[in-house]
Structure 1
Amino acid sequence: MSLNIEIDNTTLDILSTRLKKVTSPLDILKWLGNFKPSEVELAIDIISNMTVYTTNEIEEILNDSFQSIFPNISKNERIIVNPIGDFGKSGSMITYFFQKTSFYKTRKNQGKTKLLASVDKIDYKLNKEYTLILLDDFIGSGNTIEEYFLKHIEPIKNNFKGIHFVGIAGMQDGFRRISPLFTKVNIPKSNIFKKAFSNDSSFFGYRNYAKYRELCYLYGKKLTKETVSKTGKIKFNDALGYENSQSLVSFGYGSPNNTLPIIWSNYDGWYPLIPRNSVDKMSIAKNFRKSILHELSILKEFGSEQIRDNFFSFKIKKGKREFSSVDKIDFSIYSIIKLSRTGFTPVSICQKLGIFYTDYENYINKGRERGIFDGKDELTLFGLELYQDAKKCINKCKKSIFYENDEQFKIKNINYTPSKFNGKS
């Protein structure tokens, strides 16, 4: 992919900050490379209007929502929390973040809160009052939530004194669609969005939104499947997000399908900005792991003794000789150091490495034992020293390799004078 993109470093840094460091400046450049040079400025405007939620923001929103629903929990009250969707989808992801909130961690609340993958498994007790919380990260069209409610919740709704939906963000149309189903839909008002290309939307202005919509639809048609109406007319209902949601919202761990496909699709060679599918994330993780392994091979050969002691702890004995090598923990700790210094959030680091958040926490603990991370999961002075040492070593080696290769391919003028001519010296 050619990265001949005309963009200054200041703009690139602003975009990376706007996206909460969920994606790197290089990934932004690769994404911009999907577009023609004349379209790059419009593409920059589009991602400048995106809203991305990080892990900390998600936990804070969830905690505030549950605190507002349950300011005081009575002795007989029980809370059932049910994520919408299959295991590994956004519902179970948001459940994990809920378990990290101070509301859930409070012993009193934890004893009265039950997390269930299915409402069929509720064990009702006499003299107990039950409140049901359906949990998901995003309301798009509202169709999935409505179908889930009608199929699974409607038949048992009389068992609860209240049924709430708790989410992080959503689209205005979807919010209106599901609101009549619940006691309350708990999403901050500032996190409810209009369609990106609505004529009353503030994203691109009343007069200017048409050119942005045209660009997104042009590529969105190529990135999504067509449908055929009863009259035989071909339509691209998802070219601007599932069921024409026109969303510009993403999360640190991925994008909803309601978001514009140009943001998350990888179809036909398109480079995603914030991927949606696990296949995309696995591909990113694979490429990143390759680059880390390359750097570690340089550090093993040319790094300082301090670097070799901390990142090559695996020992192999062959006869009387002992060799050091990098193991999974060494690899992961080095990767976390490198990504955290670049500004990636913990969830984004997990995505880059293709690991679970619990694995990330385990590697942080291992790094803490080595004096690399402190109690706040940040680099200690020793950890920072290791990072700077490794960075200098890699940069020095890369420059050396560059100049060596450069010299190898230069055409040299060689004057060859034979020592003998016609048998005479």
Structure 2
Amino acid sequence: MNLEEILKRKIETLSQQAWDSKLTWPDVESWLANFKGDFQAESEERVHALYLLSQVTYFGQDLLREMLRSVYKNLYRHPIISKIRRANADTLDSNVIEPLFKVEQNNTRFVGVGNPSESGPHLLYYFRQINDLGKDLFIDSGDIYKASRSADGAVQIVQVDANVRRYVFIDDLLGSGSQIEQYLSDKLKEIRLFRNVEVHYYALFATSAGLEVARKPEFFGENVSCIFELDETFKCFSDKARAFANLPAGLDKGVAHSVAAGYGKGLMAEEHALGWRDGQLLLSFLHNTPDNSLPIMWFDFPYRHPWTPIFKRFSKVYGL
């Protein structure tokens, strides 16, 4: 059995057993047709593209739901319970703990990162469902505060619900941290005007670099947690890349890089040829594929460049 046939069987098995049967072989063949021998021999490009595809980590509905269960239980509930116990002589009495936790939860609002059409808010539906939470605990980020005028006519920022003492932002992937810098920076400045209000950020996945950004004092400080941290080994062409730790005979990391970067430069600006801000991830979710992943996997802007994606991305389009 040749290498291409081995990779084909691996991908078919992954699709059936790990990727929720998301791909069929005709889908893969349509994607492989993108590789026309522009940077290596056509056969070499396609076998290396297949190998990169075989290294994609895909998170379907069941895995995402379990991770969202963990976000609530381990990142949100457990620290609050621990604080309640410390304040009550390390009690284990649920009759003491649960009413106090209920008060804390009622004074919490869960918020998606981005506008309602994006992946962060999209996750909140599953988060609420899997953790059996009331709809009143969830708001859009635009409902945190509003502008009003004081008696002397001055514009001031007012908290919509003065009973809220904790805002929890939930996201699927904290990549480079650019979304926090661009989208949440101003909101966080306004929230800090409210007395005795905490802001937290929980992500399913986070790169080490993204965590550094999120933990800056002007953003979330120490109130940042994730379920799964993506270190340098998850960047597919880094020196310690796990994707190339046990490379089969007949494949070459340099060739794979030339294919991914070569076609990537035709799809994106050069600095994003291997993913937004050189993300180099091989990652996809049920609801979307992050732009930190290799563009050859997700790019789908035919008016800019004809390309058939294998893990489609639904791009964010911010308002004017």
TM-score, with length taken from structure 2: 0.71
Instruction: Give the stretch that moved more between structures: 256-265 or 11-20.
Output: 11-20
Count of residues paired in the alignment: 258
Q: Is the 8 A contact 2:59 2:286 kept in 1?
A: yes
Q: Is the 8 A contact 2:112 2:169 kept in 1?
A: yes
Aligned partner (choices 120, 125, 128) of residue 145 of structure 2: 120
Structure 1 distance, partners of 2:203, 2:254, is: 30
Could you tell me the percent identity over the aligned residues? 22
1:338-353 map, 5 Å: none
Match of 2:12 in 1: 13
Structure 2 distance, partners of 1:12, 1:249, is: 15
Deviation at 1:190, TM superposition (A): 5.1
Q: Which amino acid aligns with 2:311?
A: I
Q: Is the 8 A contact 2:172 2:203 kept in 1?
A: yes
Deviation at 1:170, TM superposition (A): 2.6
Q: Is the 8 A contact 2:280 2:294 kept in 1?
A: yes
1:325-404 map, 5 Å: none
Match of 1:218 in 2: 262
Aligned partner (choices 95, 98, 101) of residue 130 of structure 2: 101
Q: Is the 8 A contact 1:255 1:264 kept in 2?
A: yes
1:161-200 map, 5 Å: 161-180=197-216, 181-182=219-220, 183-189=222-228, 194-200=234-240
Deviation at 1:26, TM superposition (A): 2.1
Q: Aligned-pair RMSD on alpha carbons? A: 2.8
Q: Which amino acid aligns with 1:75?
A: V
Q: Is the 8 A contact 2:112 2:121 kept in 1?
A: yes
Deviation at 1:46, TM superposition (A): 0.7
TM-score, with length taken from structure 1: 0.55
Q: Is the 8 A contact 2:109 2:164 kept in 1?
A: no
Contiguous gaps of at least 5 residues in structure 1: 227-235, 280-425
Aligned partner (choices 49, 52, 72) of residue 46 of structure 1: 52
C-alpha offsets along residues 177-235 of structure 1, whole Å, 9 cap, x if unaligned?
A: 212332332212355564221112222149953332221001001112x4xxxxxxxxx
SS at match of 2:73: helix
Larger radius of gyration: 1
**Greater percentage in helix:** 1
Aligned partner (choices 169, 175, 182) of residue 147 of structure 1: 182
SS at match of 2:34: coil
Deviation at 1:278, TM superposition (A): 6.8
Verify: 1:252 aligned to 2:286, yes or no.
yes
Structure 1 distance, partners of 2:226, 2:20, is: 21
Verify: 1:88 aligned to 2:123, yes or no.
no
SS at match of 2:116: coil
Question: Which has the bigger relative contact order, CA under 8 A and spacing at least 6?
Answer: 2
Q: Which amino acid aligns with 2:285?
A: F
Deviation at 1:100, TM superposition (A): 1.7
Q: Which amino acid aligns with 1:152?
A: K
4+ runs deviating over 6 angstroms: none
Task: From the superposition, tell whether residues 211 and 38 of structure 1 become closer, same or farther in structure 2 (CA, over 3 Å).
Answer: closer
Q: Is the 8 A contact 1:80 1:116 kept in 2?
A: no
Structure 1 distance, partners of 2:171, 2:165, is: 20
Deviation at 1:112, TM superposition (A): 6.7
Structure 1 distance, partners of 2:211, 2:254, is: 25
SS at match of 1:148: helix
Q: Is the 8 A contact 2:281 2:294 kept in 1?
A: yes
Q: Which amino acid aligns with 1:56?
A: D
Structure 2 distance, partners of 1:149, 1:96, is: 21
Structure 1 distance, partners of 2:180, 2:22, is: 27
Deviation at 1:274, TM superposition (A): 0.9
Deviation at 1:74, TM superposition (A): 4.3
Deviation at 1:43, TM superposition (A): 1.1
Q: Is the 8 A contact 1:78 1:112 kept in 2?
A: no
Contiguous gaps of at least 5 residues in structure 2: 36-41, 82-100, 147-158
